Amino acid sequence: MTAEGEGLFELPTSDTPPAEPARATAPLAVRMRPRALDEVVGQSHLLSPGAPLRRLVEGGDAASVLLYGPPGTGKTTIARLLATGATRYFVALSALSSGVKELREVINDARHRHHRHNRQTVLFIDEVHRFSKTQQDALLGAVEDRLVLLVAATTENPSFSVVSPLLSRLLVLQLRSLREDEVRELLRRAVTDQRGLDGSVSLSAEAEDALVRLAAGDARSALTALEASADGVADTGGKVIDVPAVERAVAQATVRYDRQGDQHYDVISAFIKSIRGSDPDAALHYLARMLVAGEDPRFVARRLLVHASEDVGLADPTALQAAVAAAQTVQLIGMPEARLALAQATVHLALAPKSNSVIVGMDEAMADVRAGAVGEVPAHLRQGRYAGAAELGNAVGYRYPHRTSDGVLEQQYPPDELVGKDYYRPTQHGGERTLHERLTKLRRAVRGG
């Protein structure tokens, strides 16, 4: 559960919501909320001139949209800009507290407003994935007839969380996590802007780097951490936010980790080698270092997928399944919840029996192919379903294994040059102990030993 909806549902429901400045005691992230499109940092692919979202905010488009992206990327901001910039009537609902009854009331009001005043209603629904199928279905007619212009927001993959009929009626716009330079721009603006800290403190370069890493592309997280750091400095009479001030404020050590430099490669190398070495504790440490420093969880998931086949293989056939499930979880729910799936897969792979037989066998087979050891496909294995195939000897003499009682029979499968070549050599570790015994019997039966 994210905090994406915090401060959202006090949005006014009126024809032209007033653009009142945030109160001085409001959180920094609220005070610094953009008041116009040109103040928005990030999402240039959606807000550039002529882009669909800009046309919608400026009142020049009538497409219902679904805003899909991680927390702190501007979904609430865009909703507020719709409320203040559009000439349409604006209504906001929470998917956590609204049901079918509330939806129908909004739709009925929108119908009356359209018929009587020819005014369209903008309906904003945050966390739309929390709606049940019945609730989502209740929106279909109104969206289809454009009685309401639906602006829905979600942090989850809409392909899995929004019903297909509704999804087909929406323009899906994916918001991206802010780049590091965009987070820096936000921080610097907040330090100097009158709505923000108004120059009461300065931010050291090292502290700025720490805040950027900790934010991990989340604008709200960056501004919240900056405000907490500034408050801590002010309490001690200081004027400069440094790294210790940031660490005290967020109760989280600054991690030495450069996502583009040596630390990136060193830590991921140590992570994989700890799993390979069957040390789940060290592996969890390195996983934590990466995630706390803002490493892309998809990168970690991809490394786990590779490791499952490279270093565990068939010694534990469930290892790849666990890694795939973790990667899918990262894609579906994102951080911070996805850290649990990554941790579970990490521990699973670290505790699993190890075998590199799969990668050794594959690499040897590819090396032979590159060296020219290919040979012709045996005639009885070739395609025989075309005129003249039998005259060429194709598929002649092929023996169908399922016609035997145990489904295995003697027959040559590799090219002549590779008969008797063993690529896959299972170990005696874990599940491969059983596979070793079975493979020995299979090779004897197939090769005629």
For the segment 247-264, the average pLDDT, to the nearest whole number, is: 58
Residue percentage of the chain with pLDDT more than 70: 89
Question: Which tens digits make up the pLDDT trace of 62-93?
Answer: 678 898 888 888 887 887 777 565 467 888 88
The pLDDT value given to residue 254: 47
Note the pLDDT of residue 218: 87
- Between CA 241 and CA 218 the distance in angstroms is 20
Note the pLDDT of residue 94.
76
pLDDT at 7: 35
Listing DSSP states for 234-301 in one string gives HHTT--EE-HHHHHHHHTSPPP---TTSHHHHHHHHHHHHHHHTT-HHHHHHHHHHHHHTT--HHHHH
pLDDT at position 185: 94
Indicate the length of the chain as a whole number. 449
Rounded to whole angstroms, how far apart are CA atoms 89 and 121? 5
Q: What percent of the chain has pLDDT over 90?
A: 23
Give 447 or 16, the one with higher predicted confidence: 447
Cα 127 from Cα 98, distance rounded (Å): 11
Residue 326 pLDDT more than 90?
yes
DSSP conformation letters of 352-388:
S----HHHHHHHHHHHHHHTT---PPPGGGS---STT
pLDDT at 114: 82
Whole-structure pTM value: 0.52
Confidence of residue 259 (pLDDT cuts 50, 70, 90): low
Q: Output the pLDDT for position 8.
A: 33
Question: Which pLDDT belongs to residue 186?
Answer: 93
What is the reported pLDDT for 350?
Answer: 93
pLDDT digits (tens, 9 = 90+) for 360-419: 999 999 998 888 888 888 888 888 877 777 777 888 888 889 988 888 888 888 888 888
Residues 6+ apart with CB under 8 A from 194: none
Q: How many CB atoms lie within 10 A of CB 309?
A: 16
User: Residues 179-203: pLDDT tens digits?
Assistant: 999 999 999 999 999 999 999 999 9
Residue 213 has pLDDT above 80, yes or no: yes
263-322 confidence digits (pLDDT tens): 667 788 889 999 999 999 989 999 998 888 788 899 999 999 999 999 999 999 999 999
Looking at residue 17, its pLDDT comes to 44
pLDDT of residue 347 exceeding 60: yes
Residue 159 reports pLDDT greater than 90: no
Locate tokens 């900790």: which residue? 214
